Structure 1
Amino acid sequence: MPRLDWLAHHPHHSDTFAGWIHRQFHYEYASQPLADWQREFAEGQGNGDWQCLIALEGDQLLGGAALARADLAHRPDLGPWLACVFVDPDARGQGLAERLIEGICAEAKAKGVARMYLHTQDKHDYYAKRGWTLLENFQAWDQQQWLMVRDL
């Protein structure tokens, strides 16, 4: 079974994971070059902006999720955020995303966080089945988005 650990303990995977996120959510990063995002994401492992939990099989990176200080520019009043949820397509179907999400929520709760937020373009049903509720819909990146919340 894949193990979960903090990306800060495996910094050699930071650029790979940041690249996956940059490609998967390309519409959010359209104005940010990959190298700039990789630098921001790597720094975020130390400064708390993007604390990332990753899934590993041996030393192979399978996916990750982040506890983000801020993840939606037009809602700076909210946070922290579940962000950057991604599992490599070859590793899907094993429940890794759910384990990563629960790991991030457990970490937030251990830090005294009572409520977390996320935004999604197309996975609102997935999150709703896992205890997240709709806070509001909004338009961004030319698409309908769901802003969701979960009490911890």
Structure 2
Amino acid sequence: MKILDLNDTPDLKPIVADRIWQAFWRPYGAALSDVETALADVLAGGPFRFSLVATDGEQFLGTATAIESDLAARPLLSPWIAALWVEPEMRGQGIAEALLKVATARLFEQGMSPVYLCAKPHMQGFYQRLGWSLMEQDVGPDRLDVFTRHAVQRLHSVINP
């Protein structure tokens, strides 16, 4: 499995847009073109906007995107990891964990901390197992859980003999 920046694999943009649309936007009446436009904005760059894809050879496995804000009820929190998706037949193989790890590390490398994500309550154990802290529950009309993760700062001490 490889995790790549979507800008480096432009042939996967249509499938990423479709999966994000099907899973997260279509249920609210948005058009696929709305997702394509939003994804193009992310891929245009910025201080932390990016989209990752997990692949196995030519096979698309999953995606995750970093954006400024993912929850209208919490507009001041930023940045967010959003639209985490793994193909159903590939779940349970560590793909989501790998995507989260790479996305989080990339944000931390850019000096972004804390990082946020939101999810439905049934996903709480999954995110907590991966080191995310539950910050808030029952947020917004979808009653989502909000999680946060802080960069770990290692302290180095020097001992003089």
Check whether TM > 0.5: yes
* 5+ long unaligned stretches in structure 1: none
Give CA deviations for 1:77-119 in whole Å, capped at 9, x if unaligned. Answer: 0010111111111222221110100000110111011210111
> Which structure 1 residue ranges, 4+ long, deviate > 4 Å from structure 2?
none
Give CA deviations for 1:24-54 in whole Å, capped at 9, x if unaligned. Answer: 1247x61421111112112311234741111
CA gap of 1:9–1:32, structure 2 versus 1, over 3 A, is: same
Q: Residue type of the partner of 1:112?
A: G
* 5+ long unaligned stretches in structure 2: 152-161
Residues paired across the two proteins, number = 149
Give the TM-score taking structure 1 as reference length.
0.89
Q: Which residue of 2 aligns with 1:69?
A: 68
Residue 42 of structure 1 is aligned with which of 40, 48, 57? Answer: 40
Q: Residue type of the partner of 1:71?
A: D
Q: Which residue of 2 aligns with 1:25?
A: 24
Structure number with the higher strand fraction is 1
| Cα distance in 1 between the residues matched to 2:128 and 2:138 | 17
| Cα distance in 2 between the residues matched to 1:62 and 1:88 | 6
CA gap of 1:139–1:76, structure 2 versus 1, over 3 A, is: closer
| Cα distance in 2 between the residues matched to 1:144 and 1:4 | 31
Give the TM-score taking structure 2 as reference length.
0.84
Larger Rg: 2
Task: Name the Cα RMSD after superposition.
Answer: 1.8
Determine what percentage of the aligned residue pairs are the same residue: 30
- Aligned ranges 1:8-19 → 2 under 5 Å: 8-19=7-18
